[in-house]
Amino acid sequence: MRAVIVAAAVAFIISLLGTPVAIRVFTALKAGQPIRSIGLASNEGKQGTPAMGGVVFIVATVLAYVAGHLALATLPERQIAQEGPTMTALVLLGVFVFCGAVGFLDDYLKVRRRNSDGLSAKGKLLGQAIVGAGFGIAALYVVSTNGQTVASEHISLIRDISWLNVGKVGSVMVFVFVITAMSNGVNLTDGLDGLATGASVLVLGAYALIGFWQYRHWCADDAYARVNDYCYQVRDPLEIAIIAAAAAAACVGFLWWNASPARIFMGDVGSLGLGGLIGGLAVATRTTLLSVMIGGLFVIITTTWVIQIVSFRTTGKRVFRMVPLHHHFELAGWSEVNIVVRFWIVAGVCVAVGLGLFYSDFLAVVG
């Protein structure tokens, strides 16, 4: 627990203090966010607001992970269940950083061209797929000393579903899909001040709790496994908890400056990075299907976007006034703050239900 708390505290402080520095730097570099003129009230006055703020919480998370391991080093050896950096950490932080790098390139092109056209949709998807495939292979093919891998060959809900074995190649494909879907889901959600940041805090906080719970009921812990029939077959759950808690706390520090009216945007570097990390956490904790509920807000916004595109291309009619979904409610007359707070509530309910399902599975087995 000490390592998780230290990592979260360090991430929060670095992000809270580092974000105003980033605001000044990106403002001096004239790295302002180009805003499309689409008639939305929320866009008024935002032209030129510094973008690429996601760099701050990505760096804060990586540094906080190091701090968390320094805290681990002060514990008695018998309490240190994992020595870092582990493959789990390399996969999760790698996906976070490199999905963020794809977003950074997109943001850079927007700023350089002084318009909202960055990477093409195909280019962005290709970058996400390459990152997902690279780290998916590492997650499936690099085995620990006890024979475990970061990802599993099975599709998982709250743990691996034994009869849904898709093999290593299939699992890499699943990894790519989850990373790509989640990163685009967070990216679509990032349209109003603080919306994606706040929702991400809730989801990452949930995964910090899941990771720590799995660590406390870990099959690799002989003291626990000897007296209990049920334990979690995951690799490096404490690493998962440290990284998720650090990322959540870093987003809280960033939200101080990103809340309406935002003084800085996370940009695609932040949204693609966060989505990639959330997808990686889902795979590493063996909660791939459960992540549809935990990240329910991102799923809803992505699904409505797909419905709109399919409907318009097949019938020429729109189901919603505008997508992503938050813009539909803007055009319906909701204020930006109302939309953000209400969407946070939706995200919180989805997280609560997801955690409830996770815990009820544990109770059903041990109770």
Query: What does 204-268 look like in DSSP terms, one character per residue?
Result: HHHHHHHHHHHHHTBTT-HHHHTT-S--B--S-HHHHHHHHHHHHHHHHHHHHHHSSSPSS--HH
Residue 348's pLDDT is 98
The pTM of the full predicted model, rounded to 2 decimals, is 0.94
Q: What is the pLDDT of residues 37-96, one digit of tens each?
A: 555 656 666 777 888 999 999 999 999 999 998 877 666 544 445 556 789 999 999 999
Residue 121 is encoded by which pair of tokens? 């949709």
Which positions ≥6 away from 211 have C-beta within 8 Å?
Answer: 237, 238, 239, 240, 241, 242, 244, 281, 285
Q: What is the pLDDT of residues 277-310, one digit of tens each?
A: 999 999 999 999 999 999 999 999 999 999 999 9
- Mean pLDDT over 94-103 rounds to 97
Residue 367's pLDDT is 63
Residue 47's pLDDT is 75
- Mean pLDDT over 85-112 rounds to 93
- Between CA 151 and CA 137 the distance in angstroms is 9
- Mean pLDDT over 167-172 rounds to 94
- In this prediction, what percent of the chain has a pLDDT beyond 90? 71
Distances (CA, A) of 348 to 104, 188, 205, 345: 28, 18, 11, 5
Residue 227's pLDDT is 55
CB 193 within 8 A of CB 259: yes
Residue 206's pLDDT is 98
82 vs 25, which has greater pLDDT? 25
